[in-house]
Amino acid sequence: MGKRVKPYALYGSRRPRKITFGGNRDKGFPGERDCGSTPREPTNMQQDTDFLLPPDLPRPNDDGASDHLRGKAIPKICLPSTFGGLVDLSQLSVPRTVIYCYPMTGVPGKPLPKGWDAIPGARGCTPQTRGFQEHYGELLELQVEVFGLSTQTIEYQREMADRLNLPFQILSDSEFKFCDAIRLPTFEVEGMRLVKRLTLVIRSGRIEHVFYPVFPPNESADQVLQWLQGHPVGRSITPVTD
């Protein structure tokens, strides 16, 4: 096994929060998991908070709405972060950045929009986030930073980030500044405009690769990790005319 990268190196002096899947919120290294206990079937409460996927989710089709994104420059836009402050996506310093865009995470005890499961690509935001949480240490070892992004308010996102104890930042594009600047695909439900699920790989200030559509959402992080391992940094990116 190769030399382990200190997972907090990308943050400077600030260490990310420990990845846990229960109530333990002690600080530590991302990628650490509790070991030694026997796995148990999820309880009804766990199912309610993890929003497990139903077996018959409809598969989204590739409607071509992301075809223009590869090679596109990232605009100078600052978005609120669940860590506090603003993040300028055009000034990211790590070799690669993954931004997984998702429609909307659920809130325990509150109903999802009517017909949510029947909308291709809508259901699965929490399982997708769990996947990136689980693989976060491996992504850091590849010198990749991860952000989640949705159009909910930062207060809405912070509930989810705190509940799941996420080690990475979730960005709020509630004013659609980023979505509209690079023309991300969106859809509407119950009067809400939401971003469609897609994942961007950013390198040198440009979009290097796009995952769209993303299905199944709980395997999104695995798919991204496999692509990154098969495409080491070194190839040139063909720019597009903005």
Domain ranges of the chain: 69-230
> How far is Cα 166 from Cα 155, in angstroms, rounded to an integer?
15
Q: Strands 169-172 and 144-150, how do they pair?
A: parallel
In the structure, what pLDDT confidence band is assigned to residue 16 with cuts at 50, 70 and 90? very low
pTM attached to this predicted model:
0.80
Is 190 in contact with 113 (CB distance < 8 Å)?
yes
Q: Is the pLDDT of residue 46 over 50?
A: no
DSSP E strands in the chain: the ranges are 78-80, 86-88, 96-101, 144-150, 169-172, 186-189, 192-195, 198-203, 206-211
Give the residue-averaged pLDDT of 82-91. 96
Q: Give pLDDT tens digits for 120-153.
A: 999 999 999 999 999 999 999 999 999 999 999 9
Is 219 in contact with 211 (CB distance < 8 Å)?
no
Would you state the pLDDT for residue 114? Answer: 95
SS3 188: strand
Residue 214's closest CA among 230, 190, 196, 201? Answer: 196
Q: Is the pLDDT of residue 31 over 60?
A: no
Would you state the pLDDT for residue 238? Answer: 67
Task: Report helix angle 125-134 to 154-164, nearest 10.
Answer: 50
Read off the tokens for 129. Answer: 């986030």
DSSP E strands in 21-84: the ranges are 78-80
Is the pLDDT higher at 38 or at 57? 57
Amino acid in the structure at residue 55:
P
Tell me which CATH code domain 69-230 carries. Answer: 3.40.30.10
Q: Give pLDDT tens digits for 172-194.
A: 999 999 999 999 999 999 999 99
Q: Is the pLDDT of residue 2 over 50?
A: no
Would you state the pLDDT for residue 235? Answer: 64
> How far is Cα 173 from Cα 170, in angstroms, rounded to an integer?
10
> How far is Cα 141 from Cα 29, in angstroms, rounded to an integer?
12
* CB atoms near residue 157 (< 10 Å): 25
State residue 131 phi and psi, 5-degree precision: -65, -45
Would you state the pLDDT for residue 151? Answer: 98
Read off the tokens for 213. Answer: 């559509």
Q: Is the pLDDT of residue 29 over 50?
A: no
